[in-house]
């Protein structure tokens, strides 16, 4: 047993009755161009020729090998290959990645395996091969069908390429998600409606509808574009909710809408405070042990990550979540789900009793932000609307 594993198995301050489900996140850190609103760990590939696919795949394999003792014998229920633009991987590269994962980790036979894909990287043959390699869910970063808005978002694709990508995807995948954003620079309510109607016309099983936000350290944060006012963006949000619901989608999380039986299992595991091993440049992970829960972050820059992973040292930061932080971390995720969570899952996932959150729960109930009985806790519509305030009540509960 390695020293690291021994440390994590030493007596701690909490007792988890069982290990939560385990997912795998794989980060791919390159994009054709950096979008001005993007705060993900994505880098424009500026080197000669293509990005270093083989070296990166070698690093990912080494990364899993290093992580093995921490997840020994635990099954992987879902895999999410995100980025960046992982659809830049070649068909051969993606096949090698999934083969390496299966060779090293016990992957559930019916695991949900999602790949993020951007229009502009779609070739029908390649996507057929991705499907054959085992990818069974595609998440397409469309963002808008309006050329003016795509341009203002700095996207490399136009509306025609977005439509083409979805047509290719729908022929190969019966389970696919479309990412769309609203409250875009200069967007009117009518333009937002056209985007959503267009997205609905493709018959996807899932829609992720995000409000554009100006994240710190992005180009947009430095040079803010003119955005719709709060009333207009609230109108957009309300209209989207009503229209998607009428089209047979259920809003089950802040930004996620699914057709029946098509919720994202991978994201649900995050929101239910499940475990995830995160490999790849800058990937975050959360892993449970019988008496502690830890978080890990991999080296962020792709070149450093490759070097470090090949030296069997891919982890940049690692810390145990303190007992004072666990209630907030659990609630930050669980309250995003409209259905809330069963009371017993708080003990199962944090190892703490409900006493740890009784005070803020009472306060949330008093303010009409949650409903609860002895079995279940859920945000009310008011709690969903003022989610940040609700979550904030559990800070250092
Ligand atoms: S394509 Fe996606 S990950 Fe890449 S820069 Fe744009 S928003 Fe970021």
The rounded distance, in Å, linking the Cα atoms of 270 and 286 is 9
Residue 7: which pLDDT band, with cuts at 50, 70 and 90?
confident
What is the distance in A from the centroid of ligand 1 to the CA of 199?
20
Q: Which CATH architecture has domain 3-269?
A: Alpha-Beta Horseshoe (3.80)
Comparing CA positions, the residue from 38, 66, 248 lying closest to residue 154 is 38
Between the CA of residue 55 and those of 51, 60, 64, 252, 290, what are the distances in Å?
9, 9, 14, 39, 35
**Residues 193, 155 contacting (CB under 8 angstroms):** no
pLDDT at 288 over 70: yes
Q: Which long-range contacts (CB under 8 A, 24 or more apart) does 95-102 make?
A: 95/129, 95/133, 96/57, 97/26, 97/57, 97/60, 98/133, 98/134, 98/135, 99/133, 100/57, 100/60, 100/61, 100/64, 101/24, 101/26, 101/64, 101/76, 102/134
Q: 3-state DSSP call for residue 178? A: strand
| Angle at CA of residue 382, ends 335 and 394, nearest 5° | 40
pLDDT at 1 over 70: no
Residue 95: which pLDDT band, with cuts at 50, 70 and 90?
very high
What is the distance in A from the centroid of ligand 1 to the CA of 150?
12
pLDDT at 2 over 80: no
What is the distance in A from the centroid of ligand 1 to the CA of 130?
20
What is the distance in A from the centroid of ligand 1 to the CA of 8?
35
Q: 3-state DSSP call for residue 45? A: coil
**Res 397: pLDDT:** 67
**Res 120: pLDDT:** 86
| Angle at CA of residue 283, ends 99 and 394, nearest 5° | 130
Whether residue 118 has its Cβ less than 6 Å from ligand 1: yes
What is the distance in A from the centroid of ligand 1 to the CA of 78?
23
Read off the pTM. 0.96
Between the CA of residue 264 and those of 78, 138, 159, 260, 369, what are the distances in Å?
10, 11, 26, 11, 25
Reported as a single tens digit per residue, the pLDDT across 216-249 is 999 999 999 999 999 999 999 999 999 999 999 9
Reported as a single tens digit per residue, the pLDDT across 127-168 is 999 999 999 999 999 999 999 999 999 999 999 999 999 999
Q: Which atom of ligand 1 lies closest to the CA of 34?
A: 5
Residue nearest to atom 3 of ligand 1 (CA): 84
- The tokens for 322 are 């303190």
What is the distance in A from the centroid of ligand 1 to the CA of 282?
15
**Res 265: pLDDT:** 98
Report the CATH fold assignment for 323-397: Arc Repressor Mutant, subunit A (1.10.10)
- The tokens for 351 are 């190892």
Q: Which atom of ligand 1 lies closest to the CA of 37?
A: 7
- The tokens for 258 are 């699914």
Residue nearest to atom 5 of ligand 1 (CA): 34
Average pLDDT over residues 5-29: 93
Q: Phi and psi (nearest 5°) for 105? A: -125, 145
Q: What is the dihedral of CA 130, 134, 139, 145, to 10 degrees?
A: 40
Residue nearest to atom 6 of ligand 1 (CA): 35
Whether residue 35 has its Cβ less than 6 Å from ligand 1: yes
What is the distance in A from the centroid of ligand 1 to the CA of 162?
15
Whether residue 40 has its Cβ less than 6 Å from ligand 1: yes
Whether residue 83 has its Cβ less than 6 Å from ligand 1: yes
Q: Phi and psi (nearest 5°) for 294? A: -120, 160
What is the distance in A from the centroid of ligand 1 to the CA of 240?
23
Residue nearest to atom 8 of ligand 1 (CA): 38
Question: What is the gyration radius of the CA atoms in the chain, in angstroms?
Answer: 21
Reported as a single tens digit per residue, the pLDDT across 339-376 is 999 999 999 999 999 999 999 999 999 999 999 999 99
Domain boundaries, the chain: 3-269, 323-397
Pocket test for ligand 1, best of 30, 33, 42, 89 (most atoms within 8 A of CB): 42
Residue nearest to atom 2 of ligand 1 (CA): 84
Residue nearest to atom 7 of ligand 1 (CA): 38
Number of residues that make up the chain = 397
Q: Which atom of ligand 1 lies closest to the CA of 143?
A: 7
E-strand stretches of 176-314: 176-182, 206-211, 250-251, 256-258, 275-279, 284-289, 292-298
The rounded distance, in Å, linking the Cα atoms of 241 and 211 is 12
The rounded distance, in Å, linking the Cα atoms of 173 and 176 is 6
pLDDT at 50 over 80: no
How far is the first Cα of the chain from the last one, in angstroms, to the nearest whole number?
36
Give Cα 27 to chain centroid, integer Å.
11
Pocket test for ligand 1, best of 35, 36, 89, 149 (most atoms within 8 A of CB): 35
Q: Helix H segments across 247-357?
A: 265-271, 302-310, 326-334, 343-350
**Res 4: pLDDT:** 66
What is the distance in A from the centroid of ligand 1 to the CA of 14?
39
């Amino acid at each position: 047993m390695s020293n690291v594993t021994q440390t994590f198995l030493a007596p701690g301050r909490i007792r988890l009755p069982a290990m939560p489900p385990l997912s795998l996140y794989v980060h791919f850190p390159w994009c054709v161009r950096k979008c001005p609103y993007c705060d993900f760990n994505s880098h424009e590939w500026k080197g000669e020729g293509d990005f270093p696919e083989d070296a990166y795949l070698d690093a990912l394999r080494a990364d899993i090998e290093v992580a093995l003792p921490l997840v020994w014998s635990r099954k992987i229920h879902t895999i999410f290959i995100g980025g960046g633009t992982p659809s830049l991987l070649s068909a051969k590269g993606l096949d090698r990645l999934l083969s390496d994962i299966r060779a090293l980790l016990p992957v559930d036979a019916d695991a949900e395996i999602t790949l993020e894909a951007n229009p502009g990287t779609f070739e029908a043959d390649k996507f057929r091969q991705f499907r054959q390699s085992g990818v069974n869910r595609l998440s397409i970063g469309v963002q808008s069908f309006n050329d003016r808005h795509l341009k203002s978002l700095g996207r490399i694709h136009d509306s025609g390429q977005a439509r083409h990508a979805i047509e290719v995807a729908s022929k190969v995948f019966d389970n696919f998600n479309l990412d769309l954003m609203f409250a875009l620079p200069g967007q009117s309510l009518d333009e937002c409606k056209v985007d959503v109607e267009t997205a609905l016309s493709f018959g996807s099983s899932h829609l992720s509808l995000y409000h554009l936000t100006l994240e710190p350290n992005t180009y947009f944060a430095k040079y803010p574009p003119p955005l719709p006012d709060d009333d207009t963006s609230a109108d957009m949000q309300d209209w989207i909710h009503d229209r998607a619901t009428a089209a047979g989608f259920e809003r089950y999380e802040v930004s996620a809408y699914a057709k029946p039986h098509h919720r994202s299992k991978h994201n649900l595991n995050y929101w239910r405070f499940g475990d995830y091993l995160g490999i790849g440049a800058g990937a975050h992970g959360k892993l449970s042990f019988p008496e502690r829960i830890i978080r890990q972050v991999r080296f962020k820059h792709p070149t450093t990550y490759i070097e470090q992973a090949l030296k069997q040292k891919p982890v940049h930061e690692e810390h145990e979540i303190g007992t004072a932080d666990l209630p907030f971390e659990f609630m930050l995720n669980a309250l995003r789900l409209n259905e809330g969570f069963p009371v017993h899952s708080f003990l199962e996932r944090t190892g703490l009793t409900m006493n740890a959150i009784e005070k803020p729960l009472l306060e949330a109930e008093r303010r009409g932000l949650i409903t609860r009985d002895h079995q279940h806790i859920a945000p009310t519509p008011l709690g969903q609307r003022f989610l940040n305030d609700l979550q904030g009540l559990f800070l250092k509960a």
